[in-house]
Amino acid sequence: MFAIETSIDPEQAAHWLMVEYFGVALWRYIVAATIILVSLLFKKIFELVIIRWLTGLFSKSHLRYEGIVFDALSKPLNAFLLILGVHLALLVIRSGSDISPEAARFLTSTVYVAFGLLAVWTAYRLVGTFADVLDDMAQHKSGMMDRQFVPLIKRSLRIVVLVLGLLTVLSSMNVDVGSLVTGLGIGGAAMALAAQDSLGNIFGSVALLADRSIKVGDWIKVGDHIDGIVEAIGLRSTRIRTWPKTLVTIPNKMLANEVIDNWAHMPKRRVKQMVGLEYCRPDQMELILEDIREILRQDHGVDQDFSMVHWTDFGQFSLDVMVYYFTKAVATPDHLAVKERINLKILAATLKRGVNVAFPTQKVFMQSVESNSL
């Protein structure tokens, strides 16, 4: 039997660990690699255990807002563990090494930039979560802002976060942010002059949303030509689906200055029509007028606040009766159903009184003339 004995000389091991590569001892590389591996291990544990456990906890509880906030923060926290591990590993390598000051500053700036970008990313995700919370509150609580403001607030806050975050990151890289902002201000003024129409459309969209004159789903009439349903209100334009099913896109600058007739805001819908009756006796007309008034009073689809039934004119071929009332239904199918029901009752009532609905007629009188013979 042969036995192989192995032994490690501590002095040789210490000498081996102190060997320098690129001015850094080997043991520092080992410690740095160990830190990165440990951070990756914590990152994996955080993903598989903590995140899944908290996700399940929030899904089973009524803490809806806390759950979506955690969902927005989970990925940035994951990245933070990795960046922190890399940062600690770089600190171990830098300490006691012969790295040049320029390289040390570069490594420090790189870490700061990474943390800055991570902060911008976190704020960007939190803005989306904040917008979701606002949308939910506007949907379920009366008196809150219009839900159409939420996408605009979301886009605006994200732009602010990106601009401020990038300026902060550039400042950490020793970039002269003041000169950059001044240059951007001059360039922004030039761009504003060149993009007056675009800015006008943006302010037009803000005016439309602030006035709450229209919203998605409203039936509106713009001017004398555009009539349809609002499909979308964007920062630049509003899209309207017309009744022939064409899609009309109107710049918000123009729409804000137009006269908008919003049919969707009607509390009730008007009916004004003329009923032409054949010439009849006065007593017949009085009975027919009272019958029509009673029809309007008894119909459940007619608003009882106001209605008028009057004989107004002697027409060329009819006696004209004005019937004026409002239907409780605003939607076109329901409104027309009430109107049709009333018309049928009016027709039946006039026939019952022995009077027909008039139609254009002409009477021709012929006179014979005797000719004198010579």
Question: Quick one: pLDDT band at residue 176, thresholds 50, 70, 90?
Answer: low
Contact (CB, 8 A) for 251 and 204: yes
Q: What was the pLDDT predicted at 54?
A: 61
Q: What was the pLDDT predicted at 238?
A: 87
Question: Quick one: pLDDT band at residue 293, thresholds 50, 70, 90?
Answer: very high
Q: What is the mean pLDDT of residues 96-118?
A: 71
Asked which of 22-31, 106-115, 206-215, 216-225 is least confident by mean pLDDT, the reply is 22-31
**Helical (H) or strand (E) element with 221:** strand 219-222
| Torsion angle of C-alpha atoms 95, 101, 105, 107, degrees rounded to 10 | -50
Cα separations (Å) of 233 from 30, 101, 225, 244, 247?
58, 55, 19, 20, 13
Question: Quick one: pLDDT band at residue 287, thresholds 50, 70, 90?
Answer: very high
- Return mean pLDDT, the chain: 75
Asked which of 34-48, 56-70, 163-177, 256-270 is least confident by mean pLDDT, the reply is 56-70
Q: What is the pLDDT of residues 307-328, one digit of tens each?
A: 999 999 998 889 999 999 999 9
Residue 61 has pLDDT above 60, yes or no: no
For residue 193 the two structure tokens come to 């002059």
Instruction: Give every strand in the sheet of 226-233, ordered side by side.
Output: 247-251, 237-242, 226-233, 219-222, 260-262
Q: Which of 30-39, 62-71, 75-84, 267-276 has the highest mean pLDDT?
A: 267-276
Q: What was the pLDDT predicted at 257?
A: 80
Q: What was the pLDDT predicted at 145?
A: 47
Q: What is the pLDDT of residues 209-249, one digit of tens each?
A: 666 778 888 888 888 788 899 888 877 788 999 988 999 98
Which has more confidence, 78 or 229? 229
Rama region for 212: left / alpha / beta (φ>0; ψ in -120 to 50; rest): left
Q: What was the pLDDT predicted at 282?
A: 92
- Exposure of 10 in the CB half-sphere (CA atoms within 13 A): 0
Q: What is the mean pLDDT of residues 22-33?
A: 68
Q: What was the pLDDT predicted at 55?
A: 61
Q: What was the pLDDT predicted at 166?
A: 75
